[in-house]
């Protein structure tokens, strides 16, 4: 695809569908998860995957990077991991008889980065990654280094074994475009997993895009932002996000559950994520405009990590998804 060339929505849909198919060859089930990861990728966001070990989170990311033809790096987060282990550092080199410091890139310099068990690293190390996610650049010894484009961080965290972990601060959670929950496979899916992985032949994702074809990816990203959205649907998103804010709920539609369980509501980033995610979903479904359904499909992954629940919610085992479900029910479409 030539530079500056505008991609057709049909082309987008075709590439998207092929990427989905390739990842689905390796990952059994989780079709919705795969779609949302791809949407986040084309919307320019990062994804936090939460699920117990062994559900194929790492494999999903590897397969995605392979299908995309993008460089892939995996960082296993541990308590002793240092920021320089991620972003890179200056090392003394001997070149042509001259000794000089040269910047050695860390694993963050890849198109697809898997931050495995991100909550096991110290806040200092976490913040190094999160800064890179936001700024798309790192600064080492006063020198800024631009990261690869496209760039996506797929961080995973384990909801169990929380001992010795450092939960991500709310401000850093807000930088993730989506938080996706990886559910255990259904019996039929588990049977399929066994069939695929315990035999002699194993499928692997094949490349959909040529190696480092950032132009196509960027054209797809640009196209996604051109998707039309009707003002009433934008208003609906605004009302939804506003309804999550406990302090704004004076007789609002979701007053009861929000006031009862939410300490802080979503930031404007939540609304941005919903609209971009809805646009991605519309394009993936072959439409050039956003519908209410697109918005409602995206609300949970876009807002669940942006709501800060209070002690009562924790005590009553109320999840952000339950509160959001109540908000969706109560906020009228028009």
Q: Which residues bind to other proteins, rule: CB under 8 A?
A: 6, 9, 226-233, 287-293, 333-334
DSSP lists the bridge partners of residue 89 as 104
**Are 108 and 73 in contact, with CB atoms under 8 Å apart?**
yes
As beta bridge partners, residue 231 has none
Residues 6 or more apart whose Cβ sits within 8 Å of residue 167: 119
| Both structure tokens of 131 | 């800064």
Nearer to other proteins, 35 or 306 (CB): 35
CB of 232 to other proteins, least distance (A): 5
Question: Which residue, chain included where needed, has tokens 């406990």?
Answer: 246
Residue nearer to other proteins on the CB measure, 190 or 230? 230
Q: Which is nearer to other proteins, 190 or 288 (CB)?
A: 288
- CA-based torsion, 20, 21, 23, 26: positive or negative: positive
Task: Choose among 237, 283, 220, 203: nearest CA to 28.
Answer: 203
Least separation, in Å, of the C-beta of 8 and other proteins?
Answer: 8
Torsion over CA of 158, 161, 166 and 169, rounded to 10 degrees?
A: 50
Contacts of 204 (CB under 8 A, 6+ apart): 25, 26, 63, 66
Residue (186 or 230) nearer to other proteins, CB: 230
The total of other beta-carbon atoms located within 10 Å of residue 298's CB is 25
With respect to other proteins, which residue has the nearer C-beta, 50 or 294? 294
Minimum distance from residue 280 beta carbon to other proteins (Å): 15
Interacting residues of 328 by C-beta distance below 8 A, sequence separation 6+: 240, 296, 299
Q: What distance in Å separates the CA atoms of residue 37 and residue 22, rounded to the nearest whole number? A: 13
Cβ nearer to other proteins, comparing 122 with 291: 291
CB of 214 to other proteins, least distance (A): 22
Nearer to other proteins, 82 or 229 (CB): 229
Tokens 């996610």 belong to residue? 133
Contacts of 319 (CB under 8 A, 6+ apart): 304, 309, 313
| Residue given tokens 């550092």 in the structure block | 89
Please say which residue, 227 or 276, places its beta carbon nearer to other proteins. Answer: 227
How far apart, in whole angstroms, are the C-alpha atoms of residue 250 and residue 245?
A: 10
CA 303 distance to own-chain centroid: 12
């Amino acid at each position: 695809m030539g530079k500056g060339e505008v991609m057709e929505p049909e082309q987008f849909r075709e590439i998207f569908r092929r990427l989905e198919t390739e990842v689905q060859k390796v990952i059994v089930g989780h079709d919705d998860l795969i779609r949302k990861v791809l949407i986040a990728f084309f919307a320019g966001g990062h994804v936090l995957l939460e699920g117990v070990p062994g559900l194929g989170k790492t494999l999903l990311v590897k397969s995605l990077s392979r299908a995309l033809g993008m460089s892939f790096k995996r960082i296993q987060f541990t308590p002793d991991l240092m920021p320089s282990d991620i972003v890179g550092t200056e090392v003394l080199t001997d070149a042509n008889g001259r000794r000089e410091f040269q910047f050695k890139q860390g694993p963050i310099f890849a198109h697809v980065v898997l931050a495995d068990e991100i909550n096991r690293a110290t806040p200092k190390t976490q913040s190094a990654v999160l800064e890179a996610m936001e700024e798309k650049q790192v600064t080492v010894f006063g020198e800024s280094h631009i990261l690869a484009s496209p760039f996506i961080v797929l961080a995973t965290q384990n909801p169990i074994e929380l001992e010795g972990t450092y939960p991500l601060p709310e401000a850093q959670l807000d930088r993730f475009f989506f938080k996706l929950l990886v559910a255990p496979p259904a019996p039929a899916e588990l049977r399929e997993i066994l069939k695929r992985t315990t035999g002699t032949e194993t499928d692997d994702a094949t490349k959909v895009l040529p190696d480092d074809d950032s132009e196509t990816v960027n054209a797809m990203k640009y196209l996604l932002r051109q998707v039309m959205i009707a003002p009433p649907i934008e208003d609906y998103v605004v009302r939804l996000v506003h309804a999550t804010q406990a302090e704004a709920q004076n007789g609002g539609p979701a007053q009861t559950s929000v006031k009862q369980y939410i300490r802080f509501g979503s930031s404007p980033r939540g609304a941005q994520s919903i609209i971009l995610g809805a646009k991605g979903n519309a394009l993936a479904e072959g439409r050039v405009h956003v519908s209410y359904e697109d918005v409602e499909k995206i609300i949970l992954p876009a807002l669940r990590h942006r709501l800060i629940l209070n002690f009562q919610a924790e005590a009553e085992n109320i999840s952000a998804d339950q509160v959001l479900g109540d908000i969706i029910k109560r906020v009228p479409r028009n």
